[in-house]
Amino acid sequence: MTWVQFSQAHWLAPHAGQSYEALVVLLQDVGDSVLSLTSLVARWTASVPMTVFTALTEVAPTVSPADGLLLQATYPGDATSEPAALDRRTQLMAHQLKQQLRFYRLDASRLVLVGFGHGGTLALHLLLRWNCAGALTFAARLVLPLPGARGRGTSAPGSVGITGKVRLIEYLDTGRVAHAGMRDVVASLAARGIDVRGVVLAGPTLSEEAIRHGGAYLVELVATAQGGRRLP
């Protein structure tokens, strides 16, 4: 059995002495390196000033499972990547994210999640259970069933927050068209009152077209985040 934990965040675009108005956290796909995100972030930072970018990675454990800090590794399509296992992983993510938000004196309403592959699956799962400004995902999988809907202003555990926006980027798989799957995901999220839009593209995950679309979506989500609350 493999166990993992989320490491401390990697600051991808720090600017000493700057006061930030939004936090963007990137979650890479299984097997990807944080270094693969640095050039991407370098392109996006110019479009979203007053924003700090960090990344969470999973590393080998340094404490025992009895400490309650470790979670079983899960991967897309694996039985352990279903809601119960993802709940445990996103709880640990939320702990790290709350620490970062407190450091910058930002409320969760000023947080944007950007996920790639399985990192996108985690981002969607977290957004549906812990309200933030929004999530931008690349080739993510929406794990069903979704938690029950709730109204604005409530915070019941396991319920859907409808204030966060979702922007999806999906890709044409070899031999089949992904438009139908995108429509199903958009319809499922929209039925919960979530502001959701998406696009289906050809080419690799981080093609030039995908980076441009992602950058435009990110500008929108960060603008929403910068209208959120600050911590006292």
This prediction has a pTM of 0.80
Cα distance between residue 13 and residue 190, in whole Å: 33
Mean pLDDT of 16-22: 73
pLDDT tens sequence across 91-113: 888 888 998 899 889 999 999 99
Quickly state the pLDDT bin for 10 (edges 50, 70, 90): low
CB atoms within 10 A of CB 8: 12
Is the model's pLDDT at 6 over the cut of 60?
no
Question: What are the distances in angstroms from CA 212 to CA 65, 152, 208, 217?
Answer: 42, 32, 6, 9
Quick one: tokens of 196? 């959701």
Residue-level pLDDT at 202: 84
Report which of 167, 60, 177, 162 is spatially closest to residue 120, judged by C-alpha positions: 167
Domains of the chain: 3-225 (3.40.50.1820)
